[in-house]
Structure 1
Amino acid sequence: MSTHLAAFLDAVAQPLRIGPVPTPSPAAGEILIQNRALAINPIDWKQQSHGVYIASYPTILGTDSAGIIAAVGSEVTRFKVGQRVIGHGITLATKNIANGAFQEYTICPEAAVAAIPDSMSFEDAVVLPLAISTAAAGLFEKKHLGLEYPDTPGDRSKKTILVWGGSSSVGSLAIQMARAAGYRVLATASERNLEFVEGLGAMGFDYQAEGVLGRILGEVGRGEFWGAYDVFAPTVFLAEPEVGKAIWQEFLPKALADGRIKPTPKADVFGTGLEAIQGAMEKHKAGVSASKIVVSL
C-alpha cells in the first residue's frame, strides 16, 4: 500500500507530528485530492488545544484544501484526474482521518469539491471551502435563514441581511453569496476593514463607532429583516444536501469563473510544507484581521 505524509495530532495540547499514513483509494462518490495548499481556521487550533470534535487519537485536523485530483471513485461524474479543485474535508463530521486536510492527500465527497479557474492560485482558492459551506448553511438551509439561492429569479433588493463580522472568512463569503442572491447586505467591521466589506457589496458599519447600533437599526428598518445565524458547516452535505448541491455544484464553479465570488479574505502564506502548519496555527491563534493563514505544499 502506498503512503504519504500527514501532520498528526497525537494528544490534546500536543504539537503536530509529521509521519506517514496509508494513501486511501476513493470509494464511490469520493475524490482523492493531492493537496497543493491548506488553510487554517479557528477550529483547527481549538481542536488541538481543547480536543473538541475529536473521537480518538492520533488524528489529522484541517478542513480547507486546494490541489489536483489524483483519483476518483465510482459514480463520480463531474470530475476527472488532473483537474484543479478546492475541497472541504469533512473530518469534523466523519471523524475519519482520511478526510483531514493537513496531509498530502485528502479524501473529499464529490459534493464538497469544486473546480477552480486556471487563473486562480491554489493559495488564493484554499481560503474558500469551510467558509463557503458555513455561510451557505446559515444563509440557505431551511432550518436557518432559508434564503433564495443565487440565480433564482425575483427582486430581493429590499430584503436585508446583517453580517456581524463581515471581514472574517465566513462573513466575507456570506456577504458575497447573499449579494449574489440579490439581497441587501449590511455588515460590521473595524474601521480599517470597512473599505474591504463595502467592496464586496455590503453597506459597512464600524462596530466600534459610537451610536453604531442605532444606525444599523435605522437601516434595518428600511427593509424586511431576515435574521442572524450560527451553524455547523457539514450540514450542507449531510442534513440538507440540496443546499450543498445548489451552492457547491451549481453555483460556485460558475461564480468563481465569472468573478461573482472572489477568494476572500486575502491569503497570508505563512510557509511551505506540513512542518509549517503548527506555526501557522499559532499565528492564527494570536489573531488575524481580514486575512486567512495559508500553507503551501
Structure 2
Amino acid sequence: MISLPKEMKAVAFYTKGEPGLHTIPLPPLRPTHMLVKIHSVAVNPTDWKCALYGPPANPFCIVGCDYAGTVVEIGSEVTKPFKVGDRVYGCAHGSNQDEAYDGVFAEYAMVKGDLTMHAPPNVEFEDLCTIPLCAITAGQGLFQPGKGLGLSLPSEGKGKGEWLLIYGGSTTSGCLGIQFAKLAGYKVIVTCSPKNNELVKSRGADEVFDYNDPEWPAKVRKLTDDKLKNVWDTIYEAEKCCEALSSEDEGCHFASCLWTSEPFPRPGVKESNTLMYTMFGETFNKYDKEYPASKEDWEWSKMWMDFTEKLVAEGKIKPHPKRLENGGLEGILKGIQELKAEKVRGEKLVYQISENI
C-alpha cells in the first residue's frame, strides 16, 4: 500500500487573478473519482482565463486540466477498470469555482474516474498530457450530435471526401481535429501561420492557407467550388470563416469552442458553440453563468475518451509538439503568463511534476 502525505503543493488561487504555489491538504477520495500522483501536466489557455476571470471555490481553486500520472486510490463508484499503479492520463475541471480540488497542477489530483484514459506503454507521460483537453474539444466541436458540427464519427469513416475547414489548424485542438476528421473520411482545409505548414500537413491537412492573407476565404471558395458547408473555428474568426463558406446558406454550419458577445456575422448560417467543461456531467458556474448538468454530455464524453484512448494506443493520433519546461509546479506560473501574452505557438508547454512511482 502506498503511503500518502497529509499535504501537497499545488498551483491554486484564493483570490481571483492571483494563482500561486501553495501547500494545501491532500484531497479526500470521492466515490466517482481517483487520486492520481501527477507526473506531467500541459498548460492551456483556459488555465489563465479561468484563474483571471473566475472567483475561486471555497477556499481556493486548483488550476489545471491536462495531466498524466499514476493511480494511487480508486473511488467505489468508478466503473471503468483501473487498478492502483496504472499509468493514466486525462482532462480535469481545473479552476472549478464549485469544487476546490478539481484541478491537476498539483502533486496529487482528484480526477473523474470514468473519463480517465489508460496510458499506452509506448508513449511518454510528457506527450500524453498534451492530448486530453483538446481531444474532447475537437470531439465536441466536430462530432457530438446536437452540440458541434455533428459530423460522421471517425469509427464510421463516412466523410466521403467532403470538405471541412478548420480555422487555427496549428493549435493543439486544430491538429487533433485534423487527425480525427481525416480518420472520419473528410478532406481538411486549415488556416495557420506559414511557419506551421509542415506541422499541419504532418497531421493530415489536405490544403493549407495563410490566415494573414486577406484573400484566403475567396481562395477557399474557389478551391471548394463554393460548396464548403462545415467550418470548425478554434480561435473565433467568424467573419472570415463565414466568407469561406458556400454562398448558399442552406446546410452551412459554423462551430467554435469560443464565442463573443458580438452578433454572428451571417444569420442564415447555423452557429454552434461548445464548452469542454460540460463533459463532466455536473452543474457548474463559469463566466457568470450556471451550466446545468448534462447526462447526454457525460455519456457522450465517456464514449469519446474511450475512443481517443483506443486511437492513441493504436498510434493513429499523434500528440502535439511539446516544449518541456523546467521548474515543476513553480514553473507553471511562468508558463501561464507566456500563454496569456500569446508567446506560445504551434507547441504545448509541458511540466514534469514528479517521477513515476
TM-score by length of 2: 0.76
Q: How far apart in 2 are the matches of 1:58 and 1:94?
A: 8
Q: Does 1:285 align with 2:311?
A: no
Measured at CA, do residues 122 and 164 of structure 1 come closer, stay the same or move farther in structure 2, by a change above 3 Å? same
- 1:140/1:243 contact within 8 Å kept: no
**For 1:200-219, what aligned pairs fall within 5 Å after superposition?**
200-202=203-205, 203-219=207-223
Structure-2 change in CA distance of 1:112 and 1:204 (3 Å):
same
With over 3 angstroms needed to count, the CA separation of the structure-2 counterparts of 1:220 and 1:109, relative to structure 1, is farther
- Are 1:72 and 2:128 counterparts? no
Number of residue pairs aligned between Structure 1 and Structure 2: 292
* Residue 8 of structure 2 corresponds to residue 20 of structure 1: no
Q: CA deviation at 1:53?
A: 6.3
> Aligned partners of 1:177 and 1:14: how far apart in 2?
36
The separation in 2 between residues aligned to 1:15 and 1:235, in whole angstroms, is 24
Shift of 1:7: 1.8
Q: Residue 93 of structure 1: CA displacement?
A: 5.6
Of all paired residues, the percent bearing the same amino acid is 31
Q: Greater shift after overlay, 228-237 or 114-123?
A: 228-237
Correspondence for 2:7: 3
1:189 is matched with 192
Q: Residues of 1 paired with 2:9 and 2:121: CA distance?
A: 27
User: Would you say 1:294 and 2:350 are equivalent positions?
Assistant: yes
Whether the aligned pair in 2 keeps the contact of 1:31 and 1:69 (CA below 8 Å) is: yes
2:254 aligned partner:
228
Q: 1:58 aligns with which of 57, 60, 68?
A: 60
In the TM superposition, what are the counterparts of 1:40-51 in structure 2 within 5 Å?
40-48=43-51, 50-51=52-53
The residue number in structure 1 matching 2:299 is 242
Q: In 2 relative to 1, CA 11–94 (structure 1 residues): closer, same or farther, beyond 3 Å?
A: closer
Q: Calculate the TM-score normalised by the size of structure 1.
A: 0.90
Higher helix share: 1
Q: Secondary structure at the match of 2:29?
A: coil
Q: Match of 1:151, as an amino acid?
A: S
Q: 1:288 to 1:91 in 2, by over 3 A?
A: closer
In 2, Cα distance between equivalents of 1:276 and 1:270:
7
1:180-232: CA deviations, max 9, x gaps?
22222111110010111111111211112352111112233375623331220
Cα deviations across residues 254-278 of structure 1 (Å, max 9, x unaligned)?
21112111111x1111214211111
Pick from 264, 267, 271: which aligns with 2:322?
A: 267
| Structural mapping, 1:106-145, within 5 Å | 106-143=109-146, 144-145=148-149
Look at both structures and tell me which one has the larger radius of gyration over its CA atoms.
2
8 Å contact kept, 1:164–1:187 = yes
Give, in whole Å, the separation in 2 of the partners of 1:117 and 1:68: 13
Match of 2:255, SS state, is coil
Q: How well do the aligned residues superpose, as a CA RMSD in angstroms?
A: 2.1
Unmatched 5+ residue regions in structure 2? 231-252, 257-273, 282-293
- Amino acid of the residue matched to residue 283 of structure 1? E
